[in-house]
């Protein structure tokens, strides 16, 4: 009897999760059917383990039911009335002070304390707040509002974070509402596109998202404002935090870190235990921002082992990482061209009753870069910023991807995920988004800040579905090339100049020849020294006359594939020249670099 009841419960739970998955991309628009991941394992976890898995032994899955409110073709209108709060809560600021906070930031110091104001948040439509929605009829503040995201502080349009007070209830189960402007993305849909796609990808989590039309009324001014001002379109993106963990059936007491500048180095000066006398949370957060449990024992042990070359990486990887999750995360980012994930823009989670670390996605407004269309690409990428070479600087992928079986695992995941991210699937979603956002993005205030013409913006929408294939081709090319490396600092000694650089790496085990040259100009027209060195990473030349010089090294394997170092020279027009370093020889033969 128990077995029969057990099977019935598991079947019902599986059907519930599948139905929730099918509803997670509902829209008034007609969309093609999509292939969803299997959910039987999730149902088994729910039945046998409750809301928390037992750490390493359970499959890593998302919880599709949390996306029940997601409607890709909808726009939610939010009304925010800003009022000056009180100094005790650090909300005693005007709206002008909050939006002009950039003036208190220095270009090399973004550590100013975030300032906030009290706010009344009301949710409705373009006709006004709606009954049964958050804030309807409120006359007293029910939230605070502030700018969010240091990188957005220096652009024309800011993003905002709204935090509902405990007595105000929640909006769609959320207390923190992130409203992202994505002013560097002229489509204004890349983030939502990715998080809706990620709902279809096994071994990953996604985030709840919603297009939002924002109005702000400034009652903190003197005299107080009396009308709501249209702030245009935003994308609400769920904040990964302890509530996020709970809603994904993960353990809210686990470790959760936001990677801000994390290359899987040990970072012994920054990453310390809280009870260490030299512990500094700001220094720690400059590498990993702490979002969960503050016991860093597991993190430090993992980093010690990852950086211990005496332990085979196969042993370390199997102990600390889930292969399906890691290679899926890596494959997805390679395919959508989200190159900023090399050391940031992702979260690391580990349950309290396990050793494994899981990669969680975060921030995709730089994805789908259209690098094969320089007229539309937002920046010129370094030669190594595609495929696996983009991740080579970080210790973990550098060690892992040297192992053939792991490269095979990645290749299988790339092809598996590519089968989900089909042009037809992406186009169907973009059609829904474009119809929804165009009435807002193509008028003021957003129209003023578009970086391309409306015609070019329309072209971006047409080209985005094919960008997966472009990034896939770049991935295959990256496996043929030598890996990028670092150039050293020249040393003057005994009338000679010694140049060194790190060894490149070739997946095929081919010999590598380094093309070395020194010139008086960065275009290398007037070359004063050059040489080709097979499998050698240093050269000594006669001393140079005092003056300005540039030196470069290019790695070339037997097949003729080339790669440049990470180093670059920034010229007077702020254009980067990769694989080149500047040096200056002083009259007393000192060597200076920049």
Angle in degrees, 0-180, between the axes of helices 40-49 and 2-23, rounded to the nearest 10: 130
Residues 295 and 227 placed together within one structural domain of the fold = no
How many Cα neighbours within 13 Å face the side chain of 322? 25
Residues 290 and 215 placed together within one structural domain of the fold = no
Asked if 589 and 492 count as a contact pair (C-beta separation under 8 A), the reply is: yes
- Is 105 or 361 the better-scoring residue by pLDDT? 361
The structural domain count of the chain equals 3
Q: What is the pLDDT of residues 21-44, one digit of tens each?
A: 434 443 334 343 333 333 333 333
Residues 454 and 505 placed together within one structural domain of the fold = no
Residues 509 and 453 placed together within one structural domain of the fold = no
Measured in whole angstroms, the distance separating CA 132 from the mean position of its chain's CA atoms is 35
What are the two backbone dihedrals, phi and then psi, of residue 419, each rounded to the nearest 5 degrees? Answer: -70, -20
Residues 422 and 495 placed together within one structural domain of the fold = no
Decide which of 237, 269, 296 is a domain's last residue: 237
From start to end of 86-208, where are the E strands? 116-125, 128-129, 143-147, 160-164, 176-180
What pLDDT sits at residue 541? 96
pLDDT band of 108, cuts 50, 70, 90: very low
CATH number at residue 535: 2.60.40.10
Residues 456 and 538 placed together within one structural domain of the fold = no
pLDDT band of 56, cuts 50, 70, 90: confident
Segment among 3-17, 161-175, 558-572 with least mean pLDDT: 3-17
Q: Above 80 in pLDDT, residue 417? A: yes
Q: What is the pLDDT of residues 189-234, one digit of tens each?
A: 999 999 999 999 999 999 999 999 999 999 999 999 999 999 999 9
What pLDDT sits at residue 99? 84
Q: Give the number of residues written for the chain.
A: 594
What pLDDT sits at residue 155? 61
Whole-structure pTM value: 0.88
Residues 446 and 502 placed together within one structural domain of the fold = no
Rg (CA), the chain: 26
Angle subtended at Cα 192 by Cα 331 and Cα 245, rounded to the nearest 5 degrees? 75
pLDDT band of 45, cuts 50, 70, 90: very low
> Would you state the torsion angle of the CA atoms of residues 221, 223, 225, 231, taken in this order, to the nearest 10 degrees?
-40
- Is 381 or 386 the better-scoring residue by pLDDT? 386
Q: Which domain holds residue 151?
A: 70-237
Q: What is the pLDDT of residues 273-294, one digit of tens each?
A: 999 999 999 999 999 999 999 9
Q: Note whether residue 485 is domain-resident.
A: no
Q: Note whether residue 269 is domain-resident.
A: yes
What pLDDT sits at residue 55? 61
Q: What is the mean pLDDT of residues 498-518?
A: 98
Q: What is the mean pLDDT of residues 469-483?
A: 98
Q: Note whether residue 23 is domain-resident.
A: no
Q: Note whether residue 62 is domain-resident.
A: no
What pLDDT sits at residue 292? 95
Q: Note whether residue 49 is domain-resident.
A: no
Residues 577 and 533 placed together within one structural domain of the fold = yes
What pLDDT sits at residue 190? 97
Residues 468 and 497 placed together within one structural domain of the fold = no
When the pLDDT of each residue in the chain is averaged and rounded to a whole number, the result is 89
pLDDT band of 5, cuts 50, 70, 90: very low
What pLDDT sits at residue 424? 98
Decide which of 476, 511, 537 is a domain's last residue: 476
Q: Note whether residue 149 is domain-resident.
A: yes
Residues 273 and 412 placed together within one structural domain of the fold = yes
Q: What is the pLDDT of residues 334-381, one digit of tens each?
A: 999 999 999 999 999 999 999 999 999 999 988 999 988 888 776 678
Q: Note whether residue 4 is domain-resident.
A: no
What pLDDT sits at residue 557? 98
Segment among 21-25, 84-88, 527-531 with least mean pLDDT: 21-25
Q: Note whether residue 409 is domain-resident.
A: yes
Residues 447 and 522 placed together within one structural domain of the fold = no
pLDDT band of 94, cuts 50, 70, 90: very high
Residues 231 and 380 placed together within one structural domain of the fold = no
**Cis peptide leading into residue 528 (ω within 30°):** no
108-117 long-range contacts (CB < 8 A, ≥24 apart) are 110/150, 110/153, 111/282, 114/146, 114/147, 115/90, 115/146, 116/85, 116/89, 116/90, 116/91, 116/144, 116/145, 116/146, 117/82, 117/83, 117/84, 117/85, 117/91, 117/93, 117/144, 117/145, 117/146, 117/220
Q: What is the mean pLDDT of residues 396-400?
A: 98
N-to-C CA span, the chain: 76
Decide which of 430, 452, 476 is a domain's last residue: 476
Dig out the tokens for 37 from the structure. Answer: 């991941």
Q: Above 50 in pLDDT, residue 104? A: no
> Measured between alpha carbons, how far is residue 432 from residues 28, 32, 217, 410 in Å?
9, 12, 30, 32
């Amino acid at each position: 009897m128990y077995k029969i009841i057990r099977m019935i419960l598991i079947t019902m739970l599986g059907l519930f999760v599948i139905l929730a998955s099918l509803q997670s991309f509902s829209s008034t628009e007609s969309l093609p059917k999509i292939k969803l991941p299997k959910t039987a394992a999730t149902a088994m976890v729910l039945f046998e383990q409750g809301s928390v898995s037992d750490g390493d032994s359970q499959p890593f899955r998302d919880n599709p039911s949390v996306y029940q409110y997601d409607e890709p073709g909808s726009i939610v209108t939010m009304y925010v009335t800003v009022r000056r709060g009180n100094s005790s809560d650090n909300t005693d600021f005007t709206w002008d002070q909050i939006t002009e906070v950039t003036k208190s930031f220095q270009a090399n110091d973004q550590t100013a304390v975030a300032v906030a104001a009290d706010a009344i948040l009301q949710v409705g439509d373009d006709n006004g707040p709606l009954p049964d929605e958050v804030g309807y009829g409120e006359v007293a503040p029910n939230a605070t509002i502030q700018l969010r995201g240091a990188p957005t502080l220096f652009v024309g349009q800011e993003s905002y974070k709204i935090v509902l007070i405990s007595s105000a209830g929640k909006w769609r189960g959320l207390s923190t509402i992130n409203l992202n402007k994505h002013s560097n993305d002229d489509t204004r849909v890349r983030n939502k596109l990715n998080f809706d796609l990620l709902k279809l990808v096994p071994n990953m989590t996604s985030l709840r998202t919603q297009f939002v039309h924002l109005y702000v009324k400034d009652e903190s001014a003197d005299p107080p404002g009396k009308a709501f001002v249209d702030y245009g379109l935003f994308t609400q993106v769920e904040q990964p935090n302890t509530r996020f963990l709970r809603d994904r059936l993960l353990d809210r007491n686990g470790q959760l870190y936001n990677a801000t500048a994390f290359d899987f180095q040990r970072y012994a000066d920054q990453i310390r235990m809280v009870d260490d006398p030299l512990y500094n949370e700001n220094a720690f957060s400059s590498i990993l921002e702490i979002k969960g449990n503050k016991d860093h024992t597991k993190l430090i042990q993992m980093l010690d082992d990852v950086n211990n070359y005496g332990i085979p990486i196969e042993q370390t990887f199997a102990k600390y990482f889930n292969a399906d999750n890691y290679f899926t995360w890596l494959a997805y980012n390679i395919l959508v061209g989200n190159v900023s994930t090399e050391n940031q823009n992702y979260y690391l989670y580990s349950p309290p009753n396990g050793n494994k670390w899981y990669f969680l996605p975060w921030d995709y407004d730089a994805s789908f870069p259209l690098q094969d269309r320089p007229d539309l690409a937002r920046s010129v990428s370094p030669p190594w910023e595609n495929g696996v070479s983009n991740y080579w600087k970080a210790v973990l992928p550098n060690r892992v991807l040297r192992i053939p079986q792991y490269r095979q695992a990645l290749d299988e995941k790339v092809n598996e995920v590519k089968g989900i991210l089909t042009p037809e699937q992406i186009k169907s979603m973009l059609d829904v988004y474009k119809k929804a956002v165009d009435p807002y993005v193509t008028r003021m205030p957003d129209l003023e800040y578009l970086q391309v013409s409306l015609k070019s913006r329309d072209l971006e929408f047409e080209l985005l579905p094919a960008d997966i294939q472009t990034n896939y081709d770049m991935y295959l090319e990256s496996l043929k090339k030598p890996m990028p490396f670092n150039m050293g600092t020249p040393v003057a000694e005994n009338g000679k100049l010694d140049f060194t650089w790190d060894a490149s790496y070739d997946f095929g085990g081919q010999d590598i020849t380094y093309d070395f040259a020194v010139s008086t100009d960065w275009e290398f027209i007037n070359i004063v020294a050059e040489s080709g060195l097979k499998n050698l990473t240093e050269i000594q030349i006669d001393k140079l006359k005092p003056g300005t010089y540039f030196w470069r090294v290019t790695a070339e394997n037997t097949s003729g594939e080339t790669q440049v170092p990470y180093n670059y020279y920034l010229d007077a027009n702020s254009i980067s020249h990769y694989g080149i370093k500047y040096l200056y020889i002083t009259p007393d033969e000192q060597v200076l670099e920049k």
